[in-house]
Each structure stands twice: as C-alpha cells, then as structure tokens.
Amino acid sequence: MASRDDIVIEITPQVLLKAYTCGIFPMAESAEDPALYWIEPQQRGILLLDQIHVPKRLARTIRQQAFEIRVDTNFEGVIEGCAASRPGRRTTWINSKIRGLYRDLYRTGYCHTVETWRDGRLVGGLYGVALAGAFFGESMFSTERDASKVALVYLSARLIRGGFSLLDTQFVTDHLRQFGTVEIDRAEFHKLLERALAHDADFLALPRSASPELILNIIQGRGSRQAR
C-alpha cells in the first residue's frame, strides 16, 4: 500500500517515528523526486534474531578482522553510499527529503549506522532506526566484497545484546535471505511490532570495541544471556 503525502501532511521526524510505530515507512520515486510516499508492504521481511545464519566463509572474514567496524561515526558517508548508483541500479529512492529526515533522527539518537572501514576508507555499512525493542533497517551498501554483510552481522549481534526483539528488513532479497530473513504477512508483522514496542532496548549496550569472537558467540547464542 502506498500513498503520496502531496503536502497534505508535513513529514517531520516526529511524524516519521509515529509512522514506524504503525508499520509504515517512506520512500521516494527517485533522488530527483521531491515527494515521498508511504509504504506498508502486504508481505514484510524480517530477520529472526534467534535464527541468524552466518555463512562459514563470512565468519572467517569476520575472525580475520578484514574490516574495522565503527558505529555512529559517519552518517553522511553511509547514506551517500546507500544512495549511490551502482551496477544493476542506476537510480535510488533516497532523495533530499529522506536525507534530511534521517539526518535529524541521527542527531537525536534514533537513527544509527554500522560502518565497515578499510585503511581509513568507508567501504560499506548500513543505517536504520531504533525504536523501543524494534530496529527498522533502511538501507545498506558495499564497495568491497562482504563489507555490508559484515555490517549486518555486527548489527544483529548489537541488537541481540541490546535486548531487541524485531529486526525489520522491509523486503526480502537474496542478499538478506542467506542470513535467514523470512517473509511474513502484514498482520503477523503488526503483532511482532506491537510486542517489540512494548519493551525497551539499548542499541549501545554492546561495546563498540567488541571482538569478532564475541560478535559470533552472541549470534550463535552463547552470548545472548547477557543481552537481557
């Protein structure tokens, strides 16, 4: 379901947060289109935090510390990377209004980034919104192999340790499916969302310097007890 705002309602950060609690999120037709429209998919993608699968090769990459992981240090770089054109995608849904709204949410502590760096360069990452016990993933990017996948694993461990119960991916892609992302109908999503919004969570509960072994242990369940 989608409906243009058509300037009937001014979309502010506060309106955007309310929209998330109702299970909807904004998108634009393109970077050049100044308007936004609301999306509420009939089928919703979620990554089940207690059933995450990390491929063996990716686990090796994480243990080898191929990337430096940073949290909330370069919002502008991450959203620019997510908006950039790349092979197979010439346009983006991230317009100036999207950038401004999420920049404001970042400044007020609702929007977060998980970033992958190599040799002082930002080479991948993701951003999304944390609200009570739910995290709404918005977009991710990668300019090097596995950079966004590693960011997703680190995000998942952070959400588990922080006591989150819902990771909303909005849609299901092949990229996300390999980690265990599933598709559920709108009614089931709203049930999970209601439960997630009923309890608090802490995005910053996991130390920023968490080791690769700790990250993988949390994902595999050996470190999940401390998350509660």
pLDDT tens per residue across all 228 residues of the chain: 444 444 445 789 999 999 999 999 999 887 778 889 899 999 999 999 999 999 999 999 999 999 999 999 999 999 999 999 766 555 678 999 999 999 999 999 999 999 999 999 999 999 999 999 999 999 999 999 999 999 999 999 999 999 999 999 999 998 899 999 999 999 999 999 999 999 999 999 999 999 999 999 999 985 444 333
5 assigned to some structural domain: no
Is residue 14 domain-resident?
Answer: no
For position 9, what pLDDT does the model report? 57
Domain presence at residue 23: no
Q: Is the residue at 142 inside a domain?
A: yes
Write the CB contacts of 179 (distance below 8 Å, at least 6 apart in sequence).
47, 52, 53, 54, 149, 152, 153, 156
Phi and psi at residue 159, to the nearest 5°? -70, -40
**How many structural domains is the chain composed of?**
1
The DSSP bridge partners found for residue 112 are 128
Give the chain's end-to-end CA distance (angstroms, integer). Answer: 36
What confidence score (pLDDT) does residue 115 get?
Answer: 98
Q: Domain with 127 in it: what CATH number?
A: 3.40.630.70
Residue 136 CA to residue 153 CA, distance in Å, equals 15
User: What does the pLDDT read at residue 207?
Assistant: 96
pLDDT at residue 148, as a whole number: 97
Rounded Cα–Cα distance for residues 103 and 110 (Å): 10
Number of H helices, E strands in the chain: 8, 10
> Domain limits at 126?
42-227
Q: Is residue 13 part of a domain?
A: no
